[in-house]
Structure 1
């Protein structure tokens, strides 16, 4: 047996890690969606986005999920640092970006906004959640890079 025969398959290990990360992101997404549904069940549609955000933060806290709220994101543009160019509504467990809305309907520009946040931050998964719907399930869109 040669010395390379005992080395682990790097590609297989990478696939396993990717699968585990996807599974963790899926489980986290499910937990966050459950929390958002709980908030929507109690409040219904019709409030300001800030009210849903505050209540969702409380629900995440009750579920012992760590999160950061209103995360400021600086960008560099042609040698100039633009402070707070973007503001992420929530980042949960340092891996899932949430973009919250309270609007009549989600548009492609909202998905593009979340994709831009993911590209700029390096996070792989985000949830676009629109609370202004009769049934929250129809107001949720999962976005991945």
Structure 2
């Protein structure tokens, strides 16, 4: 069964909410990543963790420009943090990843915030033409 990227995002946010409610803030980012990946797989989704993403620049190929924390069904990027509050650079980082992966939507989930609602951000990639 193929889900839309919006449906994948809804499932991921629901899973993240329940994890934050159950475990609370303050654990290592890697713990939240493992638990979220497990939860999404339990819900029948294909998950890639720490997927290396290559970057090409003027003929230079860098095999691992970055690693995607979680890639859901090859269509939704989830970047995880466990910090007291998100910084602007975190959102910019996700947008760069979305552009490099040519994906429309990413979720920035911060499990370090007091409530999950204040720790979740949707990042939309509207840029298909990088020259503009």
Q: What is the Cα deviation at residue 135 of structure 1?
A: 1.1
Secondary structure of the 1:45 match is coil
Question: What is the distance in 1 between the residues matched to 2:72 and 2:116?
Answer: 19
2:49 counterpart of 1:90: no
Question: What is the distance in 2 between the residues matched to 1:30 and 1:80?
Answer: 37
Secondary structure of the 1:129 match is strand
Q: 2:18 aligns with which of 38, 49, 52?
A: 38
- The answer to which structure, 1 or 2, has the higher relative contact order (CA under 8 A, 6+ apart) is 2
Q: 1:112 aligns with which of 57, 68, 92?
A: 92
Secondary structure of the 1:135 match is coil
2:38 counterpart of 1:58: yes
Q: Which runs of 5+ in 2 are unaligned?
A: 126-132
Residue by residue, what CA displacement relative to the aligned partner does 1:59-115 show, whole Å, maximum 9, x if unpaired? 111111111111101112332221211111011111110000001111111111000
Q: What is the Cα deviation at residue 24 of structure 1?
A: 2.2
Residue by residue, what CA displacement relative to the aligned partner does 1:1-48 show, whole Å, maximum 9, x if unpaired? xxxxxxxxxxxxxxxxxxxxxx92222111100111111122100011
Residue in 1 that maps onto 2:47:
67
Question: Normalization by structure 2: what TM-score?
Answer: 0.88
Secondary structure of the 1:46 match is coil
Question: Normalization by structure 1: what TM-score?
Answer: 0.81
Secondary structure of the 2:107 match is strand
Q: How many residues align?
A: 123
The CA RMSD over aligned residues, in Å, is 1.3
Larger radius of gyration: 1
